[in-house]
Structure 1
């Protein structure tokens, strides 16, 4: 990334000169090399228009002094719709949302990653079922809370056996957790790896993370209740990730005034909260690989009217 940073600095210096376009294309070529873009599949003349527009957006946003920074990354050649696939996140109705009010004062911060209760960041690649990754991540963290041991349950088993092998669509569902409970839990990833066959083989493996109960849905839009629940365990949440600012996020506390709190298109694992320089934030784990954001994580605005809908669709497993 150092080479890209140098070129970005040069672009800023040359922005008003005739050499700008030449240097910008040189940065594009550096990006191709840095991210090992397969030119047999991705032709530069096809990538360049979107990449150029996105790169210029990054430079402009970073000049505004916002609470967060953007950076060129492996998604610079994609539109947000290309990245998310236009998914819609929904939580199936629950008549009795969790009640976490009146449980006493909350700690000033929570970070399940620092406690060792969060599995490593994965890259969902072409799999559009972001809710599957968030659901399985929540199961892994629930297992840690229950036993003190962190294991990596199989996303493939969940897709094969609870989503009928479909890698499309993103629905948080109490039925999804009920499905896991009926299987007794999920096998570990090494015992049930990603294979693309999408044929359920749960009867051939033993669960390494046991789930006996179902799930609990959080009340919509209640950030205080969400924080109280997060003290107990990490939580799968739906968010609006449809903005280019989210796609190109690099660091800082993300606040997007254009975000919707209703139209959600992505799912992540909520692993912590805190305050930095007087600004409250949520800490989320994404599934776009560790090169995105802060090693695969993002700090999102907290207590700002449910920005990006982080408290709209939240669900966690129970026993």
Structure 2
């Protein structure tokens, strides 16, 4: 179901400013461990309590467009930390913006930039120690790190089976193509055949069934189904959801 949402007032020029046009890499540099070969039929990391609350970054689109990518990657590390410590913590997206080299205006290979940083630093500090300030600042990180990353898995030009294999192990940061229909989503299973190389946006995949993938957005709980979208699992009608993804182990 589509309708007016908190994002519906965006004009075409706003979309050009705030969502980058991404030409996805046509190579697959993924290295998938053997322990991802067994697939479950369905998973929901939200009900399993591995996912923190939906952020509201919609007012920050002009201030720091890169925050949505940082938020999704921080969510991936939060789930990894939960699996390691049994405690769910909200981790710092500001650390990623300030310290990884990505910044607020970085739209390129967000997966590689963040992967290098996370594997070198072995996780992130809590958001309480390094709060989000809607801008890129000098790196002043301090505090205990959580989510010891041993491997970051990049899936490019992926396919449904690969994506589900990654998602069966934990939430996955992924890019999706954004259209007016996506922006105006309110409820139900979203099906849309987006044109390639359209505007892109980073979200967090948090579950799947045999008919849809559940994604967490960063536009607040007034958008979609309390901040979430159920998007078709069919690659022909889910806006290139499988083309560029990042998971952590």
Structure 2 length as normaliser, TM-score?
A: 0.86
Moved over 4 A (4+): 89-94, 99-102, 261-264
Which residue in the other structure is 1:229 paired with?
166
Q: Tell me, yes or no, if structure 1 residue 301 matches structure 2 residue 238.
A: no
Which residue in the other structure is 1:152 paired with?
90
Whether contact under 8 Å (1:269, 1:285) holds in the other structure is yes
Aligned-pair CA distance for 1:210 = 3.0
Aligned residues: 240
Whether contact under 8 Å (2:97, 2:136) holds in the other structure is no
Distance 2:218 2:176 in 1: 13
Which residue in the other structure is 2:74 paired with?
136
Whether contact under 8 Å (2:92, 2:130) holds in the other structure is yes
Whether contact under 8 Å (1:281, 1:301) holds in the other structure is yes
Distance 1:81 1:254 in 2: 24
Which residue in the other structure is 2:54 paired with?
121
Distance 2:65 2:219 in 1: 11
Deviations 1:168-191 (A, max 9, x none): 133322231221232232110111
Which residue in the other structure is 2:152 paired with?
215
Q: Tell me, yes or no, if structure 1 residue 103 matches structure 2 residue 69.
A: no
SS state of the match for residue 200, structure 1?
coil
- Find the partner of 1:246 among 178, 182, 189: 182
- Find the partner of 1:205 among 143, 153, 165: 143
Which residue in the other structure is 1:64 paired with?
none
Q: Tell me, yes or no, if structure 1 residue 177 matches structure 2 residue 111.
A: no
Distance 1:90 1:289 in 2: 27
Distance 2:12 2:33 in 1: 35
The runs of 5 or more residues in structure 2 that have no matched partner are none
Aligned-pair CA distance for 1:90 = 6.9
Largest Rg, 1 or 2: 1
SS state of the match for residue 189, structure 2?
strand
SS state of the match for residue 186, structure 2?
strand
Q: Flag the 1:298–1:291 CA change in 2: closer, same or farther, 3 A.
A: same
Distance 1:189 1:146 in 2: 18
Distance 2:192 2:245 in 1: 20
Structure 1 length as normaliser, TM-score?
A: 0.68
Aligned-pair CA distance for 1:78 = 1.2
Q: Flag the 1:271–1:135 CA change in 2: closer, same or farther, 3 A.
A: same
The runs of 5 or more residues in structure 1 that have no matched partner are 1-68
Which residue in the other structure is 1:87 paired with?
20
Whether contact under 8 Å (1:264, 1:309) holds in the other structure is no
Q: Flag the 1:176–1:71 CA change in 2: closer, same or farther, 3 A.
A: same
Distance 1:94 1:160 in 2: 29
Aligned-pair CA distance for 1:100 = 6.5
Q: Flag the 1:272–1:295 CA change in 2: closer, same or farther, 3 A.
A: same
Which residue in the other structure is 1:167 paired with?
104
Q: Flag the 1:88–1:149 CA change in 2: closer, same or farther, 3 A.
A: farther
Higher RCO, 1 or 2 (CA under 8 Å, sep at least 6)?
2
